[in-house]
Structure 1
Amino acid sequence: MTPAATATRTPAAWAGHLYDDAILAGQGPLFLRRDDGWMLPLPVERWCEPPDAADTGLLRRCGGAVLDIGCGPGRFVTALHQRGRPVLGVDVSLAAVARTVETGAPAVRGSIFDPVPEEGRWDTALLADGNIGIGGDVARLLRRVAQVVHPDGRLLAELAYDDVDETLSVRVDDGDGRSGAAFPWARVGASAAERYASVAGWRIAETWCHEASRRRFVCLRLT
């Protein structure tokens, strides 16, 4: 599949200098910070390395042409591209897209809520690293992904390890007093994911965990 024109609306929070700088440097610290001070660490170093043991479970389940939504620095896109698989990464961060493209893998800058190349023809959509929280409205995101994949396609998503269901207002934060603009985000575990999937036209086909890294995943199919 060939990338088309990129979308132009880019959420400033993820395209800001704190995230871009961390991606370009390949390291944090970086967090999602709530206004009450709670912070979720972002594993920038892991994102910038080749896929690890937990990631291989996702890669193994990627069938056909793959769209990696919120691809970050592109470890999944690069791995699939190197295997000769049709794949495209989409990310709002120019630095993330640039780092992906530097590996020779294809990526475009844009939001999943804007038009994306080859809509309705992707066999697998990928929401790794908690990207099921994009936009803070899981049901809306799942409905949008349903428009992007082929009717027989699948969605592979990484969930929160714990059984949570929360919508947050967060900021990208470097842990040293600097933070970006607030934006909505969501965190969902397995039970919440099943509820949101049901209302958005998906069914759960498989769930699995990588216990050593405390990471939980789900495969959804359209109903």
Structure 2
Amino acid sequence: MSAPPATASWASADPYALALRAGHGPLFLRRADGWLLPLDVDRWCARADAVDRAVLDRCEGAVLDVGCGPGRLVAELAARGHAVLGIDVSETAVDRTERLGGPALHRSVFAPLPGEGRWGSVLLMDGNIGIGGDPRALLDRVVQLLSPGGLLLAETAPVDVDERTQVQVVDVTTHARGGTSFPWARVGTESLLRYAALAGLTPDAQWTAGGRRFAALRARSTDPARSSAEPPNSAAVISSQRGRNPAADWPVADR
């Protein structure tokens, strides 16, 4: 599997960093034709709500939150005593996550990551199925990260859509834009299930709550490509204790 090409990310764009520091929007992804997709910065910067917590109740084993943003989900899992790690390409997001007490790394999902092949659960929330603009490539990468039989918990678009496009981060109140455009995708549940089948993930559950749609997908319980990987209960699983360096608990080979 080849990763999508390195591009400027919406999460490293200046309007996004400013919004996270302020704790609120409005912020949008803007297509070239002018269509705007609102980003729910206010909710992301708040504590995990009832809908979020119900998703987190399904988590199994150590949890990797891909595109953790300002860290509400990582902080909630850490408070519950879960082994958890957030990753994000935004330094501002990582800083905010750590201030909430959640371990996080400034890292792309397509870069080498701790514990590959040993995560019990991976989260793709808040539209993060769109990362890289290629859902199939992203799901292939998730399969590499999950332990055999591990669980992907993904939030899909509220409508049936399968769109790949170029977008730009904009603040419509100041007309600030986040640099160059970058690839993004929007995927509804039906489209996600099609891509998931190609990646070797099987449906586990689907549900709607609070106007948001979710799907749980499970990796194969055995994968010949991972025959040499360490078992999921190896010493690589980190502690979620607050105030610790998340990378310090992982083997050097996994960093």
How many Å separate the matches in 2 of 1:205 and 1:16? 35
CA separation of 1:37 and 1:177: change in aligned 2, threshold 3 A? same
How much has 1:103 moved relative to structure 2? 1.6
**TM-aligned CA deviation for residue 14 of structure 1:** 2.1
Shift of 1:16: 2.1
- Partner residue, 1:136: 133
| Structure 1 segment 19-58 matched on structure 2, within 5 A | 19-58=16-55
Residue 111 in structure 1 maps to residue 136 in structure 2: no
Query: What amino acid is the match of 1:90?
Result: I
| Contact 1:18–1:179 under 8 Å retained in 2 | yes
SS at match of 2:150: strand
Quote the Cα distance in structure 1 between the aligned partners of 2:205 and 2:157: 16
Structure 1 position 75 matched with structure 2 position 72? yes
- Whether contact under 8 Å (2:28, 2:39) holds in the other structure is yes
CA displacement at 1:49 relative to structure 2: 0.6
CA contact (8 A) 1:124 1:154 kept: yes
- The total of aligned residue pairs comes to 213
Shift of 1:130: 0.7
Tell me how large the CA RMSD over aligned residues is.
Answer: 1.2
- Cα drift, residue 30 of structure 1: 0.5
Is 2:74–2:85's contact at 8 Å kept on the other side of the alignment? Answer: yes
State the structure with more CA Rg: 2
Which of residues 1, 11, 15 is equivalent to 2:12? 15
Q: Percent identity?
A: 53
* Cα distance, 1:12 vs structure 2: 4.6
1:59 aligns with 2:65: no
Counterpart residue number, 2:207: 208
SS at the partner of 1:61? coil
Structure 2 length-normalised TM: 0.81
Alignment match of 1:93 (pick from 90, 94, 99):
90
Structure 1's unaligned 5+ residue stretches are 1-8
Match of 1:5 in 2: none
The amino acid across from 2:157 in the alignment is A
Question: Structure 1 residues 12 and 158 mapped into 2: Cα distance closer, same or farther (>3 Å)?
Answer: closer
Q: Normalising by structure 1, report the TM-score.
A: 0.92
The letter for the 2-side match of 1:26 is G
Structure 2: runs of 5+ lacking an equivalent: 1-5, 221-255
Runs of 4+ in structure 1 deviating by more than 6 angstroms, as ranges, are none
